[in-house]
A and B are shown apart, each in its own frame.
Chain A
Amino acid sequence: MPDYQWPDPEHRTLIGKRISRVDSPDKVSGLARYTYDTKRPDMLFGKMLRSPYAHCKVVSIDTSAAEKMPGVKAIEIVQKPGSTIHWAGDEVVAVAAVDEPTAEDAVRAIQVKYEKLPHLVLDNEPPQGAAVTQGPLSWDDIGDMFDNQVPERQIISQLQEYGISFKPTEDELKEAKEQGAPDTVIDAIRKAPQHPEARGTSKSNYQKAAIQTQGDVDKAFSEAEAVSEGLYGAPVITHCCMESHGSTSEWTDPDHLLVHMSTQNVSGIAGQMAEPLKIPAANIRVHQDHVGGGFGSKFGPDRWGIVTAKLSKNAGGKPVRLMLERDSELRVAGARPSAYARVKVGAKKDGALVAWQSQSWGTGGPGGGGMPPIPYCFAVPNQKKEHTAIRNNIGPARAWRAPNHPQAAVLTMCALEDLAAKLNMDPYDFFLKNIDLTRLPNVYRDEFPIAAELMGWKEKWRPRGQNMSGHVARGVGLSLHTWGGRGHGSDCDLSIHPDGSVDIKMGTQDIGTGTRTCIAVVAADALGLQVDQIKLYIGDTLYPPSGGSGGSTTPGGVSSSTRRAVVDARDALFAKVAPALNAQPSDLEARDGTIRVQSDHSRSLSWKEACSKIGATPITCHGHNDQAAGKNKPDLTNSGVGGVQMAEVEVDTETGIVTMKKMVAVQDCGLVIDVKLAESSVLGALIMGISYSLYEEKVMDQATGRMLNADMEFYRLAGLSDIPELNVHMMTGKGYDERGVIGLGEPPVVSAGAAISNAVANALGVRVPFLPLTPDKVLAALSQTSAQKAGA
């Protein structure tokens, strides 16, 4: 049995060291090519006409003027007259023309008539009694879910849970399939419980999404010695990828499509395009060198990706490039669901948590969405939770880095910090007092003191509102988080060539997280080479498939498949080389650019000499990491990480401006492949966290139904000068390394919102309920308390 296990510390040459990102030189020199940079011969430019209304019916479309314009090569109706549109900015008609100005002119020449329908784009607290229980689903409901891009899994679970209000006929099912319903959904419709008597259930924007109780909440609260009640929340924000969504498509012959796409999911795109384009997935080649950010919003081809391929077909197969404009990127290409809650939480005098009660609500757009995992991390013994999903017309939600966790952290950790303040406890002591209610108490116990040391917590923390100097208040806050991060399914081919060159082919993608570097480090470490001696081929469906880069699953997946392939290839090389060194293959090691006898380093061959023994045909080995964890023996990846973050802020009580002074992150992710890039991931997450804590919000206007800040001036990201001293500590060594590789993308982005909100509450002595902590909200919270004091 080959020894696939990760090498122990003394046998690692690169793993766990600080290695520079292998594709940095291409990125800093402008040579890295992104989908937006694709230039193909005779390429046409695609543009989209989008609905100006948040909820409407398409009445008529007249493209005759656009068709006659010189330079217009293809027009595709995306939503025919009669279609219902559920958010402003949704696609209606697409055009392709010889250049972008012409395509823009053509879009302006198209006449569309709409019938406006009532819309809701806000996510305020649902009116008392407004939330209804979802009844059995009608065909219209199911059609709406497809229109609203509700994920397949969610449609199926709703069909199972609520049943259907009709008896589906074979003709209806056939039609649904023709309109793009996957077989799994058709099957779920067949099996769904039928309630024909429920026809005509009235619809509401407010849906009871969860009611859960555990233990005896009323008794626990009556026995609690301290109870805190508060209002907390985080609004809808967008992904705002620097490279917008989009693709370039061309039909290389009438049955074969070549797609360049900005995606987190190279291996998974062809399968999603096959059915709508009515060609086998095997006939679709997807390619991507680099992607300008995804953050969870780029897993599918999207309707515009399918439309781009259709435009190309209409234009005789010519390449068509269609990238979203910035305003569309912010309006339609993904949003993080909001979450708000009224939380009541109780503890004993010593701080031991006993009871949690929450009424939460939020929107994931037309699909509604579910309850975030609250109370987060802490399994409070007695719980009662109710969640109302708001279905509104803001556009579809998508996974946003650590889906639902940042919101859950805000709702939970802020409520707990308020309770700690009520108990006159340092939150550091309060959180640790309850740490056995978490799933990783030992990890947090390791991390808390390190974070406190880096922050200077003990020196800086004072009871609420007691660190004022003039009109400037200072405060510190903390939060903790968790994530899974097990490696996904991944396949690769690794070849060692007779000339000594090494290449790896894998259908993965590097979304900026350092996937290329991770693969190269694992391979080079096992072969005793440097990372630049490994040639990587990724980002193409011509290579073995690897999972989508989401949920922090990539490092575990690609490192595991690479490790298996490289160990097999190295052992095959040892077998070829052993006779020349007069040794057994098992006596050899690959180190420092040589193959040598472990016990006698004088018996060695240079890497190049060793590879010359291979013969004419290269050694090629396949590496596989199974998606099912139990099938990987040995298992090189794992699940479940913990992290602690602390924030220090300064708040100007006259202007309401929050200024970051310092942030600290202590993070575990099992075996760290590259400490330098791991730290970068955490630093980036802290910065993204500061951004959503202080600045970001998708602002919707109920009067027009439109997003008011669909640009980068008013959809404000944190800039360089908003970022304070950042301090990152990665947990490594005993207790961490032997767990295997675990992903790191999501976890460090989770805690920032709660930690910063807690720091502001500590500074001001009052809670600013909702993110982002903008001056207006800070001043409102301050004036409310001064009014209360005046009234008291």
Chain B
Amino acid sequence: MRDDESIQIDSNEPIEDHSGVSRRDFLKISTIAAAVPVVAGPRTVMAAGQEVPVQGPGKVPMELSVNGKTYKASLEPRVTLLDALRDSIDITGAKRVCDKGECGACTVLLDNKAVYACSILAIEAQGKKITTVESMMEDGKLHPLQQAFVDNDGSQCGFCTPGFVVACKALLDQHPDPSPEDVRRGLSGNYCRCGTYDGIRKAVAQVARKGA
């Protein structure tokens, strides 16, 4: 296929002929329909009745705004936001645990909304404000929520902790004085194996009381 050719995809047909479409392939497909800013590739496809540009399959330039700074990277379109943060930018607070949107260890804020960074492509996150746990400390001082985690021992091995801290922040930003039901809903997307839930619950209560 030549580079300038337009690929016609019938949305009812699988894009490749092998039996299993992997998650990344699926994301790759679904992204085609999403608006892709910054770089318009030379190729386009018809998808859902619209002509949209194709990115990749090789590396394409991307620009990500993380914690107020702009990072440039050259990545394949199938690279997730989580992997871009961790492996390209070396911001490793968000952790890769399940890598499929089940455990919450990779929770970051995208335009102030808590999301699983493993389930968003880096290319989709362009033009949005990405906030990770690393941004919460100010002048070397812990955020009151982080301090509450320390005070109430909300971490043991600590691998799920950054995801929980970000999820708690999103919860408290939205519900400064959360009801038990708010807490249940707001934190049900994160798992911990060491069993730190009791400390996390107390940390949330401590901050909620103070109204931080």
Contacts and interface: CB of A to CB of B under 8 A. Distances in A.
Nearest to A674: B153
- Chain B interface size band reads 35 or more
Interface in B171-204: 183-184, 187-188, 190-201
Chain B facing A: main interface SS: loop
B86 A712 contact: no
Interface stretch (A25-33, A167-175, A621-629, A780-788): A25-33
B15 interface: no
A39 B90 contact: yes
Contact of A720 (B87, B93, B105, B197): B197
B158 A292 contact: yes
A242 B94 CA distance: 12
A683 B142 contact: no
Given A34-B159, A686-B195, A720 B184 contact: yes
A574 to B, nearest CB: 34
A84 B165 CA distance: 46
Contacts of B99: 325-326
B136 interface: yes
Contact of B159 (A26, A242, A686): A242
A512 B157 contact: yes
A37 B96 CA distance: 9
Interface residues of A, number: 58
Given A29-B142, A293-B193, A512-B156, A100 B87 contact: yes
B158 A720 contact: no
Interface stretch (B4-12, B31-39, B143-151): B143-151
A472 interface: no
Interface string A289-328: 0111101000000000000000000000000000101100
A728 to B, nearest CB: 9
Nearest to A43: B87
A204 to B, nearest CB: 36
Given A39-B90, A242-B192, A680-B199, A711 B154 contact: no
Interface stretch (A16-24, A554-562, A586-594): A16-24
B95 A326 contact: no
Contacts of A295: 193
B184 A683 contact: no
Residue of B92, B99, B142 with most chain A CB atoms under a 10 A cut-off: B92
B212 interface: no
A474 B202 CA distance: 27
Interface in B154-170: 154-162, 165
A242 B95 CA distance: 9
Interface in A243-301: 243-244, 290-293, 295
B102 to A, nearest CB: 4
B103 interface: yes
A191 B190 CA distance: 54
B205 interface: no
B157 A293 contact: yes
- The CB with the most chain A CB atoms within 10 A, among B76, B184, B195, B198, is that of B195
Contacts of B94: 30
Given A681-B156, A720-B187, 15 more contacts: A25-B142, A28-B146, A28-B155, A28-B158, A28-B161, A30-B91, A39-B87, A240-B193, A242-B105, A243-B97, A512-B156, A684-B196, A688-B194, A717-B193, A721-B187
18 contacts: A28-B154, A28-B162, A29-B142, A37-B92, A39-B92, A242-B95, A242-B193, A290-B157, A512-B155, A512-B158, A680-B153, A680-B156, A683-B195, A712-B102, A718-B197, A720-B183, A720-B200, A721-B184
Interface of A: 20-21, 23-34, 36-37, 39, 99-101, 240-244, 290-293, 295, 323, 325-326, 511-514, 676-677, 680-681, 683-688, 691, 711-713, 717-721, 723, 726
